[in-house]
Amino acid sequence: MSTETGEPPATRRNTLSREKVVAAAVAMADASDGKVPSTRKLAESLGVQAMALYHHFRNKDALLDGMVDFVFAEVELPAADADWKPAMRRRAASMREALVRHPWAIAIMDSRANPGIATLRHHDAVIGCLRAGGFTIAGAAHSFALLDSYVYGFVIQELALPLGSPEEIQQSAESVLALAPAEEFPHLTEMAVGHAMKPGYDYGDEFWTGLDLILDGLEQRRDTWR
């Protein structure tokens, strides 16, 4: 029977869903610098008893699988009949955006032994697009691994660097110059003054330079893989 203090526990349990649990866990991880919430804290945030979560996830590994699948579901899927090169470019950009939103995911995305449907659908779409683009299955594997290594690595570096606003970039470059006399470190000084300290510089733009180099290289090697 309902009371003035709110919904009864049974009703709250009945409205709980797998999707709601995962969304809450992802939101908590995003808000806590990547710390996956404990079952107790997750249950508290949902207003249920911890045991109620086990109706949807038998253990923490299963919850992590669901959280990773949540992230993969946000990534744009390439169509099998799309031009592989721009499709892989858009997919890499979408993956980068998802990983920046959920930085905790990088460390566990490829470690899951029981991938979810969104994860499997994503992988299959990437492979299918590359195969339709003329890559052998070995070439598709090489390309997939290289692209993911680049995107993951760039995001890790991007999130770690103290470079956000133009002011922060300027301050960081000035700090480096103060510690590195030009006569002793001429090349570092040249890069700081002639590149990083120029108006409008954005470290994130380096992502596109590297990505296009990789895509051009894959195109050159595509017909050599058997």
Lowest mean pLDDT among 41-50, 141-150, 208-217: 41-50
User: What does the pLDDT read at residue 10?
Assistant: 46
Give percent above pLDDT 70 in the chain: 90
User: What does the pLDDT read at residue 4?
Assistant: 43
pLDDT at 183 over 60: yes
88 lies in the same domain as 196: yes
Is the Cβ–Cβ distance between 163 and 171 less than 8 Å? no
Mean pLDDT of 85-109: 95
* Cα distance between residue 178 and residue 135, in whole Å: 49
Does any domain span residue 66? no
The CATH number assigned to the domain holding 99 equals 1.10.357.10
83 lies in the same domain as 33: no
Does any domain span residue 147? yes
Domain membership of residue 158 as a residue range: 71-224
25 lies in the same domain as 123: no
Does any domain span residue 133? yes
86 lies in the same domain as 185: yes
Mean pLDDT of 41-67: 88
pLDDT at 166 over 70: no
48 lies in the same domain as 84: no
* Cα distance between residue 43 and residue 86, in whole Å: 42
Of the pLDDT bands very low, low, confident and very high (cuts 50, 70, 90), residue 81 is: confident
Lowest mean pLDDT among 118-122, 179-183, 218-222: 179-183
47 lies in the same domain as 78: no
Per-residue pLDDT tens digits for 26-50: 999 999 877 778 888 999 999 998 8
198 lies in the same domain as 87: yes
Per the structure, the count of domains in the chain is: 2
83 lies in the same domain as 172: yes
45 lies in the same domain as 84: no
Of the pLDDT bands very low, low, confident and very high (cuts 50, 70, 90), residue 209 is: very high
pLDDT at 201 over 80: no
- What are the φ and ψ backbone dihedral angles of 6, each rounded to 5 degrees? 135, -170
User: What does the pLDDT read at residue 165?
Assistant: 63
Which pTM does this prediction carry? 0.83
The mean predicted confidence, pLDDT, of the chain is: 86
pLDDT at 6 over 60: no
Mean pLDDT of 160-186: 74
Residue where one domain finishes, among candidates 57, 79, 100: 57
Side-chain half-sphere exposure of 143, counting CA atoms within 13 A: 33
21 lies in the same domain as 112: no
Does any domain span residue 12? yes
Does any domain span residue 97? yes
Does any domain span residue 65? no
121 lies in the same domain as 207: yes
103 lies in the same domain as 162: yes
| SS3 at position 6 | strand
* Cα distance between residue 30 and residue 93, in whole Å: 20
* Cα distance between residue 94 and residue 134, in whole Å: 23
